[in-house]
Amino acid sequence: MKLTLDFVPALLKYSAKGCVILFLLPILSTWLAGSALCAVIAPIAGVLRTFGVAGIGMNLTPSYSLPNFLSLPFSLCLAFLLALSFYYTRRLLRKCIRFIHT
């Protein structure tokens, strides 16, 4: 009698789907929400700090604070990077969900 291992590819596929559901989906969805929220908050904070709100700190290192006139350009660059992060994380999250549904 010949022993067949036809169930191994299906078992590996279900194991991979389980790992995606347990690990990738929570991490990617949290990163997605955080980057979207921070991409909105960063330019607002840059505008507020440019016009003199002292409670908003933008430090490059613990000992060096960014000058007030550079707050808005720095925050816009940061918001752009966060928006890129949001876009690519959303694409990856969609691919993971498509992988789970197949």
Encoded tokens for 27: 């991490």
Closest of 74, 73, 86, 72 to residue 31, by C-alpha: 86
Residue 91: strand pairing partners: none
Whether residue 7 is contained in a domain is answered as no
Q: Assign 11 to helix, strand or coil.
A: helix
Whether residue 4 is contained in a domain is answered as no
Whether residue 47 is contained in a domain is answered as yes
Encoded tokens for 24: 């990738």
Whether residue 1 is contained in a domain is answered as no
pLDDT at 85: 97
Range of the domain at 96: 14-55+64-101
Domain count, the chain: 1
Whether residue 97 is contained in a domain is answered as yes
- Residue pLDDT tens, the chain, 102 long: 565 677 788 888 888 889 888 999 999 999 999 999 999 999 999 999 999 888 888 888 889 988 989 999 999 999 999 999 999 999 999 999 998 888
Whether residue 6 is contained in a domain is answered as no
Whether residue 31 is contained in a domain is answered as yes
